[in-house]
Amino acid sequence: MFIDIVKISVKAGKGGNGAVSFCKDGFSTRKGPDGGNGGRGGSIIFVASSNLSTLSSFRNKKKFFAENGKDGTSKKCSGRKGEDLYIKVPCGTLIKNADDGKILCDMCENNMEFVCAKGGDGGAGNINFKSSVNRSPRFAKEGKPGEFFDLVLELKLIADVGLIGMPNAGKSTIISSVSNANSRIGNYPFTTLSPVLGVVDMFERSFVVADIPGLIEGASDGLGLGHEFLRHVQRCKILVHVVDVSSDDPIKDFLLINDELKKFDKKLLKVPMIVVANKTDVSSEENLHKFRKFAKKNKLKLFETSAISGKQSIIPLISEISKIISG
C-alpha cells in the first residue's frame, strides 16, 4: 500500500535519577557520599533510506518511545544511557510539527540523520553536592523528561522526471515501456492510483521517473486526490506533460493541467517541460495538426509518440530528457 502522509507521536527517554548513597568501611561506618549520576535518556533519530519508497511501515504503529536512562548507583557509578531509537523514512520525507505545520527537517539525502527529540539529562547523584558546609548531602536530582512531539511525516517523491497529464493520457504505458516500473495499464481513467517510480537506463545514463496519477480540474483545490498527487511533482527536475491527442480537445486538456500546476505552486511553471503528444496512431489528423500548431506557437518542445505501438517512438524523448539532465 502506498502511504505518503502519516501522523505519529515520538517521545525521547527520561533521564535516570541520581543516587543518594554513602560509602562505608568494613565496620559499617558511613563515610562520604558516593551516589552516581543518572544516565541520559535515549533520543529519537530519523534516518533517510533510499531503500524505502512509502510510509506504509507507519500504518499500524503511531507512537514511538526511546529508552529511559538508568538510575545512578553507589560507588560513584553512573546509570547506563538509554538506547537511541532510530526510525527509517524514505528519502524525500518532510518532518513537520503537527501543532503549527513548521518543517523541522527535509530528509532529502540517503543516510541523512535528524535528531528529532532529545533524551532528558540524567539527574546528579549526591556526590555532586558535597561541600564544606554539607559533607553528607542526603539528596540527589531526578532525571529530566525527554522531548515529546506530535509529528506529521509527508513524503514527496524524489525523481528526476515527473510524468503529468490527464487521466488515461498514457503515462503508465510510457514509463512501463522504458523503465523497470510495473505500473498498471488500462484504457480507463485513474488506472494509476498512487505514484510509481521507475529507473530509466539508456544512453549511458540512468534517471528516476515518477508516474504521477492523472490530475483533474480542481486538483490544486484538493479535488480528486489533487494535493496528494501534486506535491510529488515539486521536487522533479523536468516535467513531461503527456497529452492524449485523440481526446475531444487536447489543447484544453494541456491548458487545464498547466493551470492546476500554477495554482498549486507557481514555481512549477519554471521547471523545464517537455510535451508529449501521445496516442498519435488513433488521433485524427485535425487534432494532431492543431496541437502541433499550438506547440510551435507557444515554443513548446514537442514529441509525438504512440506508446502502445512500441518503444521506438519513445527513444527520442528519452534522449532529450537525458540531455537536459546532463546539463
Same domain assignment for residues 91 and 219: no
198 and 181 Cβ atoms separated by less than 8 Å: yes
In this structure, the answer to whether residues 24 and 81 fall within a common structural domain is yes
Q: CA 239 to CA 117: how far, in whole Å? A: 37
pLDDT tier, 77 (very low <50, low <70, confident <90, very high otherwise): very high
Residue 255 CB neighbour total at 10 angstroms: 13
Domain termination site, one of 114, 134, 155: 155
Does residue 145 sit in the same domain as residue 168? no
What global pTM score does this model have? 0.71
Instruction: Say whether both 174 and 272 belong to one domain.
Output: yes
Same domain membership, residue 169 and residue 283: yes
Q: Mean pLDDT, to the nearest integer, of 9-16?
A: 98
**How confident is the model over 40-60, as pLDDT tens digits?**
999 999 999 988 878 888 988
What backbone torsions phi and psi does residue 304 show, to the nearest 5 degrees?
-105, 130
pLDDT over threshold 60, residue 189: no
**What's the rounded Cα separation, in Å, for the pair 70 and 170?**
59
CATH code for the domain of 319: 3.40.50.300
Mean local confidence (pLDDT), 214-222: 52
Is pLDDT at 149 greater than 50 in this prediction?
yes
- Residue written as grid cell 523514512: 89
Beta strand 63-65 with 5-11: parallel, antiparallel or unpaired? parallel
Query: Measuring CA to CA, which residue among 250, 96, 81, 109 is closest to residue 166?
Result: 250
* Domain termination site, one of 155, 185, 217: 155
Residue 159 CB neighbour total at 10 angstroms? 24
We report the CATH number of the domain holding residue 81 as: 2.70.210.12
Give the whole-angstrom CA distance, residue 239 versus residue 251: 17
**Nearest-CA neighbor of 171 among 223, 229, 93, 91?**
229
pLDDT band per the 50, 70, 90 thresholds, residue 178: low
* 240 and 118 belong to one structural domain: no
Domain count, the chain: 2
Reported as a pLDDT band with limits 50, 70 and 90, residue 194 is low
Give Cα separations from 198 to 23, 154, 180, 237, 294 (angstroms). Answer: 66, 21, 5, 15, 30
What count of other Cβ atoms lies within 10 Å of the Cβ of residue 24? 12
Q: What is the predicted pLDDT for the residue at 185?
A: 37
| Mean pLDDT computed over 184-203 | 55
pLDDT, residue 186, reads: 41
The full DSSP string for 164-222 is EESTTSSHHHHHHHHSS------SSTT---S-EEEEEEETTEEEEEEEPPPP-TTGGGT
Determine the average pLDDT of the residues in 301-307: 84
* 149 and 177 co-located in one domain: no
Last residue of a domain, one of 119, 135, 155: 155
> Are 209 and 181 spatial neighbours (Cβ–Cβ below 8 Å)?
yes
Q: What residues make up the domain containing 134?
A: 5-155
Q: Which carries the bigger pLDDT value, residue 13 or residue 261?
A: 13
Judgement on whether residues 138 and 35 belong to the same structural domain of the protein = yes
List the Cα angle 304/319/250 in 5-degree steps: 25
In this structure, the answer to whether residues 83 and 224 fall within a common structural domain is no
What pLDDT, on a 0 to 100 scale, did the predictor assign at position 190? Answer: 39
